Structure 1
Amino acid sequence: MAVKNNKIHIALASNNGYVVLLAALVKSIDCNHLSDETIFFHILNDKISLKNQEKVNQAVKDSEKIQLRWIAAENVFPKDVKFPADNSAFPKTAYLRLFAPYILDKEVKKLLYFDVDMIVKNDVSELWNIDLQGYTMAAVLDVGKTVGCAWGGIPNYKELGLPADAKYFNSGLMIIDCEKWRQENIPQKVFKAMDDYIEHVNYADQYGLNVVFAQNWLEIYPLWNWFANNYHPKPKCIHFLDIKPFFKSYQSDPEFRKEFFKYLDMTPWRGMPLKSDFYRLVHKAMIKLKKRLTKIGS
């Protein structure tokens, strides 16, 4: 049964390095929300500076239907959490989404999650009112589409007894049944899948999520998670999977970069110049180094 009330709950996770993505996403959702619901943003905050938090607040200060709730990462992760030691450049910030349903009030039955490297072009209430049909979560097919995709998917799908053509989703957008998510201990299952098959983990918790939900998730319209490397005239949500649009080395569709800056320019980051690749490459290298050091110390 679809959840229809006057509140929409959205979880977003970011660190200080990608706060401009967060700001543009929030503003895009604000601008395109035409129905009457109040949107509650639960921002899972991985050391975003107070100055930058205030900038995001300023971006929507005149919006009567937007409320922001900032939640520090240390209050989202369980105290004894042990992160899988994969070899990816995904930071711990990526895992915040797994725990989002646990920091909401129990009366919140449903949650939308967006990666911050997205721009929403349609009214988010359309997504909110999708019926989960009894599933714990809904998502859009990933670029590779199946678990047997040679360069993505689940590398050990045969070992797991999955058919090669089983569908594989992108975890950047999820509709979540909060009660089922908690009842099924999804974070624990995702981390266990990653730990058990760590040599096959390619895209951090997206691997674990696809193992846990294999052949048991609701597929939704692809325009709600449209990948920026492939132009479409009317995407509902643009996802900048590759190099982000504020870097000089951005390689995806140029029209989608314009869309990003259209919304960013409605925030205190208006007129921000493009950044060199130095920050991006150093940031990725530091994440990988920290993971190696953690392995050595464990």
Structure 2
Amino acid sequence: MSIKDTITIVVATDNHYAILLGALIKSIEVNHKTPEKIDLHIIDDGISESSRKKIIGSSNPAMTTMHWHKTATVIPPNVKIPVDKSAFPITSYLRLFAPYIIPQDAERFLYLDVDMIVIEDISKLWHTDLGDKLFAAVPDLAKIFASDWGGVPNYKELGFAPDTPYFNAGMLLVDPVQWRKDDLSNKVIQSIFDNISSASFPDQYGLNITLANRWVILDQRWNTFAILDVKDPWLIHYLDIKPIFKSYNCNVAYKDEFYKYLRMTPWKDHQPVPDWVRLSRKAYNKMRKIVSGYLN
């Protein structure tokens, strides 16, 4: 599958954040100006039928083709996911299996967290030159392994230099052929198991220590965190409290930008919801991990 004809995108969401995917899809389509079609693979971690209809209604079928994948079919039956103590949803791990659900002839794919909107033409990101690297990403707020916030607390024990660049895993442009060849999904998972006490941001931690220095460092505007005030962002990432909640406390202009696209979807009448909804969701995430052992 040529990168000149099709932009392959993978996302994952549960029903609670399906609304975010609606805004993301619309933002991609509105700002995509070049001829490539969008091949969108959605990992469905419990999306309701009504939410699914709204997601479909958020897109232009002439531009975007959707493929749906249930979580149970994405995680191989012999793979066990680490049960960490964070409140991050199970869906955050699903990016690790993206290279296996896309067409095997795809030369690259773009993974996007659903709590994003894309303001620049996504084809500009898509055609990034990876050179001899495995993937492209943007540095995290913790820009290096030795960061006091996030980062890799045990970098010394693992033999990494303190200034090893540390990326945010919310947006990844990946070579899936090399990924599969190197069996990286299993290696990342094993790295989390081996270092579970140091993995505060579990899958992101595992990705960073497994794929250190194998990435192209992109302009920050391709993953602009909503807590910042970056002029002319190309992609906004609402990595803290999402704009669908009344307690959203990040850049107000970025919240307005989110609702600009949401109003173009079947969720156009949505109003921000109380914070107890968000907090109960966090509690649910933790309980689900404990009870299910992450599905396996």
TM-score over 0.5 (shorter chain): yes
User: How big is the shift at 1:4?
Assistant: 4.0
Aligned to 1:58: 57
Question: Within 5 Å, which residues of 2 pair with 1:27-106?
Answer: 27-61=26-60, 63-106=61-104
User: How big is the shift at 1:216?
Assistant: 2.1
Q: Unaligned regions of 5+ residues in structure 2, if any?
A: none
Aligned to 1:229: 227
Residues 3 and 107, structure 2, Cα contact 8 Å, conserved in 1: no
Output the TM-score relative to the length of structure 2: 0.96
How many residues are paired up?
Answer: 293
> Partners of 1:233 and 1:170 in 2: how far apart?
19
Where 2:204 maps in the other structure, the secondary structure is helix
RMSD (Å) for aligned C-alpha atoms: 1.3
Deviations 1:45-87 (A, max 9, x none): 11101211111111114x5211111111111110122110211
Output the TM-score relative to the length of structure 1: 0.95
Query: What amino acid is aligned across from residue 65 of structure 1 in structure 2?
Result: M
> Partners of 1:273 and 1:65 in 2: how far apart?
28
User: How big is the shift at 1:294?
Assistant: 5.4
User: How big is the shift at 1:233?
Assistant: 2.6
Residues 85 and 294, structure 1, Cα contact 8 Å, conserved in 2: no
Does 2:162 match 1:140?
Answer: no
Find 1:180's aligned residue among 178, 181, 198: 178
User: How big is the shift at 1:35?
Assistant: 0.3
Identical amino acids, percent of aligned pairs: 42
Q: Unaligned regions of 5+ residues in structure 1, if any?
A: none
Aligned to 1:7: 6
Which deviates the most, 69-78 or 167-176?
69-78
Question: Within 5 Å, which residues of 2 pair with 1:94-173?
Answer: 94-173=92-171
Query: What amino acid is aligned across from residue 149 of structure 2 in structure 1?
Result: W
Deviations 1:95-126 (A, max 9, x none): 11110110122111100011000010011000
Hey, which bits of structure 1, 4+ residues long, moved more than 6 A?
none
Where 2:158 maps in the other structure, the secondary structure is coil
Residues 168 and 210, structure 1, Cα contact 8 Å, conserved in 2: yes
> Partners of 2:65 and 2:285 in 1: how far apart?
32
Aligned to 1:17: 16
Which deviates the most, 252-261 or 135-144?
135-144
> Partners of 2:79 and 2:243 in 1: how far apart?
33
Aligned to 1:218: 216
> Partners of 2:285 and 2:66 in 1: how far apart?
28
